[in-house]
Structure formats: C-alpha cells, structure tokens
Structure 1
Amino acid sequence: MLHYNRITFVKQESMSTSPSTRPCRTLVTGATGFTGRYLVEKLLGRGHVVIETVGGRSEPETPTRRRLDITSPDECRRVIEAVRPDYIVHLAAISFVGHSDALDFYRVNVIGTLNLLEACAAVGHTPRKLLIASSANVYGNVTSDAIDESFPVTPVNHYAASKAAMETIVRTWFDRLPILIVRPFNYTGRGQASNFLVPKIVGHFARREPSIELGNIDVARDFSDVRYVASAYEALLDSDAAGETVNVCTGTPYTLRDILSKASDLTGHQLDVRVNPAFVRQTDVKMLAGSPAKLRSLVPAVEAIPFMDTLRWMLAA
C-alpha cells in the first residue's frame, strides 16, 4: 500500500479577496481544455486574475494569456518568472488513452510537469499551492468498488504509466513546494471531445442515429460531472491540504450499458449497439470506482452532481 504524509504549508492569505488585498493570480496550464474552461470560469467568479497558458506559437500573448510549450524548460522558466503566480493549477496533459504516439504521454505528462516544478525552483518562486492533475487510471485493474488513495499504483497503459511516473517525480518535491496531487476518476460534460465515450453516446442519441459502434459496454466507471470536478479543484486550492494525493470521484460506478439505457430513457430513442472489436483494448480497465471519503473530509461543502442530471444537461446542449 502507498501512504502519503500530509505536509501543511502556512497560507499567507485567503483565496477570497477584499478591497484591501490584491486579487490572487492563478496560472492554469491547459486552461483552454475541457476541464480548464470550467475551472477558469469558477476562479474568475471568485475574483482571481487567471493567467491561461496556450500551446500555439501563433497565439498572441496578453497579460492574462501566455504561450507555453510545457516540454520546454526555458519556456516554463520564462512564464513562471513573468507571472509569479499565487497559485498554479497544472491541467495540461495528453489525456486520451488511445493517443497514437506513446512517447507523447511521457514528454508532456512526465517531463512537462517536471519542467514546471524545476522552473519554480530556478526562478526562486514558491506559490501558495500547486494543484497537479493526475488520473485514477494509475490504479489499473483493481477488484474493488471503492478504491481509496492507499491502493497500490498498477498502471496498464501508457497514459496511466505516464501519470504514475509523473506522481513519483512530483512526490520528491513535496518537501520543497506546497503540492496537492488530484486523481480524478472519469468525468464528462458539455464540451468534451467526441472521441470520449459519453459524448459519443450522447451525440448519437441527440442526433437520433439508428446505431452506434462501441467496444466493451460492460466496463464500469465512476463518472463525475465536469462542473463537480472544477468545484472540487477550486475548493482544494483553498484548503490546507498539501503534500498528499486526493481522489476526485463520486463513488458510484456506471457501465456503458447503464449509460445507454439512461440516455434511451431520457430521449425515448433506441440505438442498435454494435460491438466493434477494433474498439476493444486488451489493456482496458474493467472496473474503476473510487472512494470520495478523503475528498469529502477536505472539502465537505462540494456536492456531487447526479449522473442522470449530467446526461440530461449534455443532451439539452
């Protein structure tokens, strides 16, 4: 079992702002991605000045938008030196398990994260907190319906292996920077790319298509709503937790078969489901459901959104 020691760093001031304090400056990598857009909206609502990073070389830089190639140590140092943020939320990653170039997982997810930490040290900047997104995929195939943070890490694909390697490196920085690692389980919502399963299913029902091709529809996942995940990240930034790892999940698994049934109930439409062997990966994790007990103890005010409500929201888009 893995056990993490909790390290408490003294918070200099609250995330909430008042006329006598300057707004918090929060750097968000991957800010224009699926999760980042929801988190940025929440942070702006709290009065933060959010500095987003973007990967395109042609993107113009502004006081709140910086170009950043996370795989470049020089670029990371340049951005950290220029921004010197109060908080850093690191979301930038290769996150699609079926991504075609295996090496990209390690270049971006492992080396990119290390570059960001080393940049803070190189320019002598210690944020109040760094929240770094890992993934529950690091647990691999676990025969439990309530995986907590003490379970061993046994990744079964390149995405999970890259996140596990990233976590190993990040933990060596726990005594130098106030870092919190989050392990989100599967989550979905409006704006997620259609190559992810739930948006694919929702799109087929919304368009009332006659059939859909899927892989194994009996794999089970602990699906959350992206709005819940963003709320959890925001609340964890404002918590005292540092030097540890936290699951972000609901504790309730659903199979793709369940989702198909629920979407059919909501729309009154039936899909002919065809299993395409090309979509069945031997490294697929069969069951992935987490224990949200630690998350609830740290941020008890954050409430999960029922998955039926998430589906209804996505179908109404």
Structure 2
Amino acid sequence: MDRKLLVTGLSGFVGTQLRASQPSGWRLMELPRLDLRDPGALDGYLADGPPDAVIHLAGQTFVPQAFKDPAGTLQVNVLGTLNLLESLKRCGFSGAFLYVSSGDVYGQVSEAQLPITEEQMPRPRNPYGVSKVSAELLCQQWSFTESWRMMVARPFNHVGTGQKADFVLPAVARQVARIRRGLQAPRIEVGDIDVSRDFLDVRDVLAAYFALLEHGRSGEVYNVCSGQEYRVRDLIERMVRLAEVELEICQDPQRLRRAEQRRVCGSHAKLRQETGWAPEISMERTLRDILADWDVRVLQE
C-alpha cells in the first residue's frame, strides 16, 4: 500500500516537478492553498490522520524580497515551519520529515575551502539565508525532542524544465529559443558569466530527497549537489552549440553585478555514503531538455 506523503510548496519549481514525477510507492496528499503563518492552518486538513512522511519545500525564497521584508521572510520561513511542526505533532505524526534548506546558508566561502562540506560553518549573507539556518536549527531541536526522523537538505543550484527565466540557464535558453524562432536578433544578453556554480538537474534533486526520506539519519544535514564545478560561460556556449545557432553573446551592464562568490562547488560525499544516492542526469541531457522546453514555451508567451 502506498505511503502518504505531504509536500508543502507544490506550486513551486521543485514541487511542480515532484507532482509530475508521481513517485513510486507514495501517494501525494492534495494540500489546499493555505498560509502556514496561521498556527492552525493545517489542523483541519490533518484531522483524518497524519502523513507517513513530509517534504517541506514551501517558503519565501527570493533574496531581494528578503532584504526588502526581512521580518516577513522570517515569519514565513521560521514561524511557518514551527506552525507546520506543531500541527503535525497535534495530529500524531511520527514519520520522516525533510526540511529543504539551501546551500545559500554557507555564504561566502574561500576557494581554499572548496568543495563545501556540511562541516563548513554557515555564514549567511542575507536575511533569506538567516531564515533558512534558523529553521534548520528548529528542525534539529525537534529531532532531539520528538521520535520523528528529521533531516535537513541543503540543495545547491538546481536546474530543469519549467524553471522561470529569472535564473541564468533558463534565461539563456529562452533567448536561444526566441532566436531559433526568429523572434529576436541573434544576440543574447547576459550578466557576469565568468563565475562557476554547482548545478544539479532537478530530477536528481528529487531523487536525493526521496533517498533521504528512506535512509537519512535524524538530526543530520546533507548537501544536495552535483559535486562538479561548471563555469557559466562554458554552459552557455555548450547550449548554443546544442541549439545549432549562430549568435553573439553580449554583456548587459544592467545585469552585470559582480558576484562576491566567484566559485562554488559542493561535496555530496555524505549524502552518497549514507543513502547510496548519486547524480544520474548528464549536463548535456539537462541542457537539451531545457532548450526543448523553452522551444515550446516561447510560443506561449
């Protein structure tokens, strides 16, 4: 019999992918739209019995908004998490709980400290990162006082189909698709692309989350990353070659905000050793899928 899985934030990028993937062995509980800042928001919904596991994806994730409204970000990401935990306790939950944090909690890391491991002390540089570390500590405290299995995931940059063009790779894929369709001149506008990041396909991210539900150790934190360092310029050039288009790459001064963190690479050794998980989706497949996705989406704009 399929186990019941409660996922918050199903309308987001990762949540949408999770819903579409229909994970084997799990029955996704349909969560109504509600505000976790309301302490009792979930109580009525959980009156029929607790889920077997929870993946907590929901939150305020936009860093500029966190600077604009730090109090609101803390309310959503910390108090919202507390309200979720208390609702689950009231309904008798005793299963596995995965809190999805962010690799952003590490803040600025020197190149000498790469790849980033879970032993690296969090040093968040924005209110969003502060809120995620605070919620992590809250979940770890509950792992000491409750009988639940409570794990924390720290995903690094993840990419895939359906992602908004606010992020660099989908933004480039959108422009490439528009060029292929004759909707814009053969030039793409980019910001600072001479940085490196640790990109992981969203399908591998989800596989990691389910591996943690099954095998993660309670109270532990796990990096979810590819373990590879990709220079953004190289990925853009690979995408252009895959699309078989001739174009000019132009730096847009308005997008050109020099990143404080020039290089990012994480270690997934702990996750791999404790769950058996490993990335399976190649970067070429990821880029091809993103290009194919935007080839359709630009016609719907």
Q: Same fold (TM over 0.5)?
A: yes
- 2:151 maps to which residue? 180
2:64 is aligned to: 98
- Mapping 1:97-116, distance limit 5 Å: 97-99=63-65, 101-103=68-70, 104-116=72-84
CA shift digits 1:268-312 (9 cap, x unpaired): 324433333443456753322100101111222543322121001
Aligned: 1:79 with 2:58: no
Q: 1:197 to 1:83 in 2, by over 3 A?
A: farther
Name the SS of the counterpart of 2:235 in structure 1.
helix
Report the residue type matching 1:267 in the other structure.
A
The 5 Å alignment of 1:169-208 reads 169-175=138-144, 176=146, 177-208=148-179
Secondary structure at the aligned position of 2:30 is classed as strand
Shift in Å, 1:153: 0.3
Aligned to 1:279: 255
Give the Cα–Cα distance (whole angstroms) in 2 for the partners of residues 270 and 249 of structure 1: 32
- Residue of 109, 114, 127 corresponding to 1:158: 127
**Which consecutive segments of 4 or more residues in structure 1 shift more than 4 A?**
280-284
Deviations 1:173-205 (A, max 9, x none): 111232110000101100011112211011111
Equivalent residue, structure 2, for 1:30: 9
| Pairs within 5 Å for 1:278-297 | 278-281=254-257, 284-297=260-273
Unaligned ranges ≥5, structure 2 = 294-301
Match of 1:214 in 2: 190
Match of 1:195, SS? coil
- State the identity %: 36
- 1:234-280 per-residue CA deviation (whole Å, 9 max, x = no partner) reads 12111152210001111112122122111122123244333334434
Matched length: 282
* CA separation of 1:266 and 1:282: change in aligned 2, threshold 3 A: closer
Match of 1:62 in 2: none
Greater helix proportion? 2
In structure 2, the CA distance between the partners of 1:52 and 1:186, relative to structure 1 (3 Å rule), is: farther
Residues in 2 aligned to 1:247 and 1:89: alpha-carbon distance in whole angstroms: 16
CA distance in 2, matches of 1:269, 1:159: 38
Separation in structure 1 between the aligned mates of residue 253 and residue 245 of structure 2, nearest angstrom? 25
Distance 1:94 1:274, change over 3 A: farther
Cα displacement (A) at 1:111: 1.7
Q: Say if 2:96 is the partner of 1:129.
A: yes
2:230 corresponds to: 254
Name the SS for the 2:88 alignment partner: helix
Change (3 A) 1:238 1:119: same
- Evaluate the alpha carbon distance shift between residue 40 and residue 156 of structure 1 in structure 2; reply closer, same or farther with a 3 A threshold: same
Amino acid at match of 1:183: R
TM-score normalised to the size of structure 2?
0.86
SS in 2 for 1:94: coil
CA-to-aligned-CA distance 1:195-229 (integer Å, 9 cap, x gap): 12211011111222433333321222100000111
Q: Tell me, what secondary structure is at the counterpart of 2:152? A: strand
Bigger shift: residues 248-257 or 281-290: 281-290
**Stretches of structure 1 lacking an aligned partner (at least 5 in a row):** 1-21, 54-65
TM-score (norm. length: structure 1):
0.82
CA RMSD of aligned residues (A): 2.1
CA contact (8 A) 1:224 1:304 kept: no
Kindly indicate whether residue 34 of structure 2 is the aligned counterpart of residue 68 of structure 1. yes
Partner of 2:212: 236
In structure 2, what residue type is equivalent to 1:266? L
| Contact 1:97–1:158 (8 Å) recurs in 2 | yes
